[in-house]
Structure 1
Amino acid sequence: MEKKVINPWKWQDARNYVQAVDVSNVKGTLYISGQTAIDENGVSSSADMRTQLIETLENLEKVIHDADYELKNIVRLNVYTTDSVSLFENFDVFQGWIQKNNIKQSSTVLEVKSLFETLKVELEATVVR
């Protein structure tokens, strides 16, 4: 698999995403349903945004690892939240995770009216091999 990042500008670098990712010679593509802060028993978290974001990232990692893909090969990562102000107040968690795992992904952040039950954030990803 070959990945090429397309960034006509530099400003997005501080936000830890890229404008586009060109992928060729792909051996597999993993389309991941929105991951949230739901525990292994299917119970939705009612914790604060920071805690839910950490749990959501852990769940996303589990799906990717169980599918035998690598975090660094995430090419698209969309974020849905019920509270963009709270999300951006805790965005250091997200950005730190992106940097730690050397991910260069295209992203969209969307504020939505609601998510399932008490959830505040959901991550939807595409990973290649």
Structure 2
Amino acid sequence: MEKNIINPWTWQDARNYVQAVEVKNAEGTLYVSGQTAISDEGISSNEDMRSQLIQAIQNLERVIGEADYELKNIVRLNIYTTSNHELLENFDIIQNWITENKIRQTSTVLEVKSLFETLKVEFEATVVK
């Protein structure tokens, strides 16, 4: 698989995403449903944004790993949140995770009125192999 990053500018680098990712000769593509802070028992978290971010990332990692894909091959990561303000206050969690896993992805962050039950953040990913 070949990945080509397209960045006409440099300002997005500080925000840990890229403008476009071209993928050639992929073996497979994994489309991951929105992953949130839901426990193994199916219980939605009522914790704060920081705790929910950590659990949602762990759930995303689990799905990607179970499918035998690698985090570094996430090419699209959409983030839905009930509060951009709270998300940005805790954005270091996402940025550190992206950096540690050498992820170079396109992204959209979207504030929504609500998510399922008590959830505050949801990650939707596309991963290639």
Which TM-score band (shorter chain)? over 0.9
Matched residue, 2:17:
17
Matched residue, 2:76:
76
The offset of 1:108, in angstroms, is 0.1
Q: Secondary structure at the match of 1:119?
A: coil
Deviations 1:19-47 (A, max 9, x none): 00000000000000000000000000000
Q: Secondary structure at the match of 1:53?
A: helix
TM-score between the two structures when normalised by the length of structure 1: 1.00
TM-score between the two structures when normalised by the length of structure 2: 1.00
5+ residue gaps, structure 2, are none
Give the partner amino acid of 2:82: T
The offset of 1:91, in angstroms, is 0.0
Deviations 1:92-121 (A, max 9, x none): 000000000000000000000000000000
Query: How much is the aligned-residue C-alpha RMSD, in angstroms?
Result: 0.2
5+ residue gaps, structure 1, are none
In 2, the alpha carbon distance for the partners of 1:45 and 1:6 equals 37
> How many equivalent pairs are there?
129
Query: Is 2:60 the partner of 1:60?
Result: yes
Query: Is 2:42 the partner of 1:42?
Result: yes
Q: Secondary structure at the match of 2:17?
A: coil
Give the partner amino acid of 2:39: D
Matched residue, 2:104:
104
In 2, the alpha carbon distance for the partners of 1:4 and 1:26 equals 12
Query: Is 2:116 the partner of 1:85?
Result: no
